[in-house]
Amino acid sequence: MGMIENGAVKIARSIRNQHSEAASEAVLVYSLIIVLNNLLTIVLTIGLTAIAGTLGKAAIILVAFAAARFLSGGAHLSSSTVCSVASALILTLLSFVSWDYWYAGFACTIVCAIIILIYAPSGLKGHSRLDEKYYPLLKLAALLLVLSNLMIQSSLLSAAFLAQSLTITKQAYQLVNFLERRRGA
């Protein structure tokens, strides 16, 4: 168990000891892992980008990436701590994007839209309580979110959306499986 998982267990036990009417320990642990994972990712990203001087860009990227992730899903790492650190590093790197929208940004937006049309939503089973009958609506919402950048014309948004859309591809799942096997070996 990683740092986040251990912290979640300790907090959940403390909550249960203080409030017996609280949800079961398993439910609390699950919820706390999600909260702590996101909190660590945000704190690390804000810290790293504050040092690098790209905090404003990071705020945009955090919101765009999270919105796209919510709508399109994506691969999940088994360790929340590794996930948080990897996500923070990726989000921090994205804050340095400085390409011109009408070249790379436009191309990224189109590639991202194609990826979403093919793969979204992905990886939601077991991570979302949303009924599968709503998946086509998630795909449409994710596609509209990405295509909104054709009007906004932001290189930051194109980078954030592309990075997130890559996590829903078969190649991303293969990479995660490979890394998980290597980590376990």
pLDDT tens column, 148-157 = 999 999 999 9
* Structural domain count of the chain: 1
Percent of the chain with pLDDT over 70: 99
- pLDDT band for position 93 (50/70/90)? very high
CB atoms within 10 A of CB 142: 29
State the average pLDDT over residues 55-73: 96
Q: Which residues of 115-139 are buried (b: 16+ CB within 10 A; e: fewer)?
A: bbeebbbbbbeeeeeeeeeebeebb
Q: 19 is in which domain, residue-wise? A: 3-184
State the average pLDDT over residues 35-64: 96
State the average pLDDT over residues 95-99: 93
pLDDT tens column, 101-158 = 998 999 999 999 999 999 999 988 776 778 889 999 999 999 999 999 999 999 999 9
Strands (E), 37-138: none
